[in-house]
Structure 1
Amino acid sequence: MALEPAADDKGWLAIGDGVDAPLRFLCTNAEYDVCNWLVPEGSADVLCVACRYNHVIPDLTKAGNQELWRRLEQAKHRLFYSLLLLNLPIPTRAENPTGGLVFNFPEDPENGEGKVMTGHDEGIITIALREADDAEREKMRVKMEEYYRTLLGHFRHEVGHFYWNILVRDAGNEKACRTLFGDHTQDYGMALQQHYENGPPAGWQENYVSSYATTHPWEDFAETWAHYLHIVDTLQTAVAFGVAVSPTVAKDGSLSHAFNFDTYAATSFKELLVAWPPLTLAVNALNRSMGQPDMYPFVITPTIAEKLRFVHDLVHGLPLVPVAPAPQ
């Protein structure tokens, strides 16, 4: 929204609102140029709904750290946009001291001893500051042989672990989840070691959205969760811009689609699944025309679609339909 100063420069009003419209105030982090979200009049918080979940931020006395923090916040705010539209629970650390959500953005030790690991631990999400450095992140993407590695992808993946705790473990859905994703009680450390030593199993593309998803059922769920958020948010952007895909090469209309539904409110996963391939094919073609890699270098197989449908049903509180376990 566009804003104009209220009387006496106390707060802001949305342009076009009436004289009795509520005042809004900029998040305190606006002074660092890392946030442009607002706080409603009467709020007890000076930070916006996204910034108040921060615990550790970068040392802003160091050159370049403010820009890296800005990039982290842009991705994190995009994450919160999705969580809010999906009406997902977002307990704070104050509300749940042992499992509430909190974010840390630490940098690697200056003495060179070890590196900060990006990950999740009972609601604490750590994103290594170096991930906001494009060159460092690309170096890791190539080294790890990943198709896709972005800041937003990190946030969506790690919050997937957080929601496994809330929507699977704490909601009594472990059995249903195990049917699709495998036995999460297997040793995680050993599974991780085997993955890095041996790589993914042959033919993994049939059952997993990424090679990293083959590591352990927890990682499979988190990768699928992140992928679901990619789909819903990208489709909604297409809706907002009135995109329509109707390539002349598909004479049967199989790749044609007009995007005109609320993707965040869609209770039918099939509706999302039908709309997704035409859009990704079109955007991949546009990227290639600019000499860029495919925006969407993935293929959704029937097994992966079932896993995505499971996440969709979890998010919308729908009954979890039992399915036959996929080969792992």
Structure 2
Amino acid sequence: MARRAFLVLVAVALLATGCFNSTNLEFIPFPEEKLSSRVIKTIGDSRTDNRILLLDIDGPITGVGEDRLFWHQDATTTAVAMKLRKAALDKRIKGVVVRINSPGGGVTASDIVYRELQKYKRVAGVPMVTMMMDVAASGGYYIACATDEIYAHSTTITGSIGVIIFSFGADGLFEKIGLESRVIKSGELKDMGNPFDEFTDSERAVFQNVVDKMYARFVNVVSQNRRNLDRERIVELADGRIYLGDEAKELGLIDNVGYMDDAFDAAMKRAGIQDAKVLVYTHSRQDELNMYSNQLAKAPDIGMKMPDASTLMDMTRPRILYMWSGY
């Protein structure tokens, strides 16, 4: 977040002083490839037809894709929905392990992924187990609540239950360089969140109301899925703080501390099977994949894309997030 704040300030200054125009460098994505199915691990009898799907949710949870140098990153919502729709056609899949390594992300994107997982679980009728990796906080934890059982490493950072709005104010910078924002609007709050105008108490009150409602929604999701905790206790735990895996287990926010193999075993036990092949859907061109491999091949992000006015406005607009800002 500190890097984003720095880039925003630099971009505002450059735009204001005319140091760049709206022309962006061209980026060429790799040719689109269909998802391929790869077996990465066999548990028990290698002749089995049973499958356990390993589904990755990695990085910030997004609802919009992003073009990078020679590579397009699908939105999290798109990637998850695409894989679950493919899985729904494969009756060999007896369970799903959702591997989460995410600090959270957009409120709506997090909720969409949560609903997609719930829908697949309901329609396919298979058990779903979460395996938290380095971090599964805020929106990452929200998503985990859709599954039947939550595992984490002792070193996993989770929790951060809550909502945050990030916004930037450039009105002071504009004043220093002799610029001013001129807005014609139909109502007092029509341009609320405008980074080039003063942030008023009225705006703060409206934003706080939004945060409070989104927070209540988050608490409801936890309450519906963590039946071992009453709502009052959840609110006590949901002050935004993070928890390590062992502490989260003691507090009842997760079910078990363990490793990937433990999550596979839990999914198989819930499915009532003893043998299975672990399956991933991937675009990766790697010859060999294992249960720790990321399922998306990424090209280097050189960071050469110059922001235009539209990109700048998107960077500075208020963002409502289920996200741990320390990531």
Task: Give the structure-1-normalised TM-score.
Answer: 0.25
Higher relative contact order (CA 8 A, sep 6+): 2
* Larger helix proportion of the pair: 1
Task: Give the structure-2-normalised TM-score.
Answer: 0.25
